[in-house]
Structure 1
Amino acid sequence: MAACTVSNYLVTLVDVGLALYESIGIDREIGYKALYPLIRGTVENLKHMDTKEALTGPIARGDIATVKAHLDAVSDERIEDFYRFLGQATVQMAKQKSGTDKSKLGKLEELLSDEVKS
């Protein structure tokens, strides 16, 4: 199950990302060229550090405005649920990362909760 989750669902994550690009008019091939360096950099970080320390992005930074903008921009309820689920798990991981702002992570936790859905 662990291997399936990591390997297969990584492919699913990339596919969802490409679909998000397509939803704003960016061709899948161009989207893939944009995503691949990010994927490669993340895998390289994971090769050299613990998952919590390899974590980057708006949740790790405590960037509430960006996460809110993402939620406001999504129009597909399934994608929003997916984003919220992964975001909640990412907040829990970010809480264990050194140097994170715990108060901002608490606000992100609230923002990503299912109770906040409009």
Structure 2
Amino acid sequence: MHGDRDLLHQVLQNLFSNAIKYNLADGWIEIDARLVGLMVQIKVANASKGILVEDRDRIFDRFHRGDPARTRKVEGIGLGLSLTREIVRAHQGDLRLDEAKSGQTAFILTLPARL
């Protein structure tokens, strides 16, 4: 990957921090990195009840906090994912919620690889 080292570090730190904060008590965290074509793809997943359907479209909105964040009293003001996605897009990448499996929350980060 290429880009601003400090900003990319912040992206990974935000994703890892969310995986820890929203993990189930006896849960797990999985990190998978791979080269897909000319892109680096990093998936950060954790055991969870998932993100409510009504929150999925707004998960990257500034100041939006999904129901588990409010009811579990998880610290934060709802800027982490929004700023993380902005940083990723400034590096010609993408950050999306992966809704493929139930029982987990997963984010997929895609950034150009420097070959």
Name the TM tier (shorter chain): 0.3 to 0.5
* Larger relative contact order (Cα-Cα within 8 Å, sequence gap ≥ 6): 2
TM-score by length of 2: 0.35
Higher Rg: 1
TM-score by length of 1: 0.34
